[in-house]
Structure 1
């Protein structure tokens, strides 16, 4: 939901994020508690994994390497956001994307470096956002990445109901 709302805000010509929505997001995160925040972080890593999986498959269909074509663009975009993404967070986000591109769980890959720091939370969100936006541009559909995740969640729910 968070990534989808960020994508919609960017494309709405609103000139930025809605302060009321920002407040609602902060209230939600505060209400979750530490375990809930960990779930949001794991969920964001899962989004990154799913986005990179889709990108890997799309690039492989054209005999291209996803790391070669997506990661440099991601790094360049992250570096263009110095107020939101400190330079020291860029290598971590690139590594996270590469891990996902090679089929590794970003959450498990990250665990070797310890807990997430507060300074890495916005870069993590930005990474998921930029990957979703990359997919949307590739497909020429502003809602493709959101629909892809919604469909994946629906399939998981249906599979759980059948069991």
Structure 2
């Protein structure tokens, strides 16, 4: 029986824009920058301000698609080693989010954990979240942090700082060719 949260019913959104934002954050982490580069933040703010509400929703859906794709990749990787992705990924990401109180408010951590579990069980994170109403402003940074933490987890597993970004970029290139 199909779930109303099945990914086939979910919009993919603007995965490219979401991926650029995630890649930008990863590069800052790997370059050892303690904070956000003011110039980069200015560009991000300008980009965000230029989005219409529909375009902003597309980027939001794109971030959820990234969470789904990253969790699916991690699920396959962990299953190859006889491990459960939810058991091994969700607790460490929740612990990481708890150490980021300026970016991730404690009250939204359960929602982000729910997104991870939804994706890890094959459900669309955006459709799962939609059941509970509109996204809130307080959930935007945590959603981005969730996607960044997942990508960084993949990069750490593969010992390649660009693996997660390249994997999605390659998938997008392949989809464009079809």
Structure 1 moving runs of 4+ over 6 Å: none
1:36 aligned to 2:55? Answer: yes
In structure 1, what is the equivalent of residue 7 of structure 2? none
Which digits, 9 at most, give the CA deviation of each residue in 1:112-135, with x for residues without a partner? 011110000000000000000000
* Deviation of 1:139 (Å): 0.5
In structure 1, what is the equivalent of residue 159 of structure 2? 140
Aligned pair count reads 159
In structure 2, what is the equivalent of residue 45 of structure 1? 64
Q: TM-score, normalised by structure 1?
A: 0.96
1:2 aligned to 2:17? Answer: no
Which digits, 9 at most, give the CA deviation of each residue in 1:45-96, with x for residues without a partner? 0000000000000011111100000000010000000111000000000000
In structure 2, what is the equivalent of residue 124 of structure 1? 143
1:56 aligned to 2:75? Answer: yes
3-state SS of the aligned residue for 1:114?
A: coil
Gaps of 5+ in 1: none
Q: TM-score, normalised by structure 2?
A: 0.88
Distance 1:76 1:144 in 2: 23
CA RMSD, Structure 1 to Structure 2 (Å): 0.7
Return the structure number with greater relative CO, CA threshold 8 A, min gap 6: 2
Distance 2:156 2:59 in 1: 25
Distance 1:42 1:13 in 2: 29
* Deviation of 1:14 (Å): 2.8
Within 5 A, what are the aligned runs for 1:51-90?
51-90=70-109
* Deviation of 1:15 (Å): 2.8
Select the structure that is richer in helix: 1
Distance 1:156 1:124 in 2: 25
